[in-house]
Amino acid sequence: MRPFPAAALLLALLVSAGASAQVYRWVDDEGVTHLSSEKPPPGVKAERIDVKSSSKSAAGKPASRNSSGGAPAAAPVSPELAADRADLLGRLRTRECVIALEALERKTSGTEPTSAAELRRLQQTADLNCSPDPARRRQQEEMAAKLRVANSPACVEARNRLADMMAPGSTTPRTQVQDQQAFVDEHCTSPLR
């Protein structure tokens, strides 16, 4: 399985999501990333992510074992759990969409070497995860544009300059540090956390 650029951020999102859900993440033969609360097709190797899982059912009772004494039988999903799962999946899909859109723009602008297969993989990931709703898709595209700016050389330089200004022994006046921090906060902060 090929690692996706924001795997660490994705894991941080899962830990902070606070939803009780189980999510499956896998990459298909063409490199397209899939996220689902449903198990992947048979024979597909997937990463299973448990978020605040427990051995209790939605009603708070211990999960019952199946008749063979094996794994717990599937408990009915409460409306709250279903809503939490849908919200978590929506946020994960938005993250995958935004990252794919940003990478597509960067790679099609000619600033980075790429291949037709890589462009196809990114486009398929965007198609699979971006919203079909025009208003929501515009928001995702705006987030991708902000991510592009946050990853730009100008922002890397701005963050490095701020770090130098805040380094021990720096004699940079406080107002300049505050101005630089305000610039970084306004222009160079990633919309994905």
Quick: pLDDT tens for 1-51: 344 444 444 444 444 444 446 778 888 877 777 877 788 888 888 888 766
The pLDDT value given to residue 72: 56
Query: What's the mean pLDDT when you consider all of the chain?
Result: 78
Highest mean pLDDT among 11-20, 39-48, 63-72, 182-191: 182-191
78 vs 75: CA distance, rounded Å = 9
pLDDT by residue (tens digit) across 168-178?
Answer: 999 999 999 99
% of the chain beyond a pLDDT of 90: 38
Which strands make up the sheet holding 33-36, listed edge to edge?
Answer: 33-36, 21-27, 47-51
Which residues make beta-bridge pairs with 27? Answer: 33
The pLDDT value given to residue 14: 46
90 vs 180: CA distance, rounded Å = 34
The pLDDT value given to residue 175: 95
DSSP 8-state class, residue 62: B
Q: Which two tokens stand for residue 181?
A: 């921090």
Q: Is the model's pTM score more than 0.85?
A: no
Residue 62 has pLDDT above 50, yes or no: no
Highest mean pLDDT among 23-32, 69-78, 118-127: 118-127
Residue 89 has pLDDT above 60, yes or no: yes
Task: Provide the residue type at 160 as one letter.
Answer: N
3 vs 132: CA distance, rounded Å = 26
CA-to-CA dists, residue 19 to 51, 100, 109, angstroms: 6, 25, 38
Band (120; pLDDT cuts 50, 70, 90): very high
Highest mean pLDDT among 35-44, 76-85, 101-110, 160-169: 160-169
